[in-house]
Homo-oligomer: A and B are copies of this chain.
Amino acid sequence: MVILGENQYGKSRVRVMKVERHGDRHEVFEWNVEVWLKGDFTACFEDGDNSRILPTDTMKNTVYSLARVVKAATIEEFATDIVTYFITTQPQVDEACASIQATLWQHIDASGQKHPTAFMHTGPLTETVTATRPRGRSVLVTSGFTGMAILKTANSAFAGFKKDGLTTLKDMHDRLLGTVATAKWAYVSPGLDYATLRARITDVLLRVFAEHDSLSVQQTLFDMGKAALETAPEITEIRLQMPNKHCNLVDLSAFGQDNPNHIFVPTDEPHGSIEACLRREN
């Protein structure tokens, strides 16, 4: 006999542009929101009984309505507002989850100053959050980012690795190390100063990447995550994904030219994949 296992439903790609109007000066927030609800929806799946199903269209309306009402200045606060709303108002829901991606905008420099109502999208880094609220428990907030494209042109090696009959890679003592990093860190409790913590964690990740004397992507990833945990006692763990976006040295010898680490071919495929979670020892 067939039974229903894990399931959830929700609304994805709900886009919001919020303009805060402080007199003649504005701020803009562009958020892409996803909402998921879990609960006992067996009757819907098995019998088509929709009486416990709040439509996903209503979830979309809720995001817009809350965006108008709440004071959230960070995606962490807005995601918390969303999941709290659903847990509070929908008794048939056992767990609500909201994820938000923020596209970043900054004031345009014009005539020597930041223009108060004109903006340019900066990127490609996107800020992310996931807030999860099971019924009867406090919200769990996990912040992070995607799309941090970073590159080291010095202080990166990869040598002494295991070699087998299919290994053709040579030890490299001075290579380019490029990645497009994704990070997620979990906060120990809700209601923190998320903006300050995000800035502090992002800065330390960048600083360690820049200054690290790298023996492998793994080692650099570990030192980055370790520094984040040490700089922010408010987080319990951090997950880092750092694909190795290879820059291959071009062999110009057939043309009688040398190439002492000057000309490379950046590639997207294939790429190495390195990911790990670091946490505090209990």
Contacts and interface: CB of A to CB of B under 8 A. Distances in A.
Number of copies: 4
Interface in A17-35: 17-21, 24, 26, 28, 30, 34
A191 interface: no
Given A19-B153, A162-B54, A255-B165, A218 B14 contact: no
Contacts of A49: 160
Contacts of A252: 64-65, 68
A206 B108 contact: yes
Contacts of A271: 11-13
A159 B56 CA distance: 13
Interface in A176-223: 176, 203, 206-207, 209-211, 214-216, 218-219, 221-222
A20 B262 CA distance: 7
Q: Which 3 A-B pairs have the closest CB atoms?
A: A48-B215, A118-B210, A7-B276
Given A12-B271, A13-B268, 17 more contacts: A3-B280, A9-B218, A9-B272, A17-B247, A46-B219, A48-B214, A48-B216, A51-B161, A56-B272, A58-B164, A60-B270, A61-B166, A69-B257, A119-B153, A121-B124, A123-B123, A123-B149
Interface of A: 1-21, 24, 26, 28, 30, 34, 36, 41, 44-58, 60-62, 64-65, 67-69, 89-90, 92, 105, 108-111, 115-124, 148-155, 158-169, 176, 203, 206-207, 209-211, 214-216, 218-219, 221-222, 225-226, 229-230, 237, 243-244, 247, 250, 252, 254-255, 257, 259, 261-281
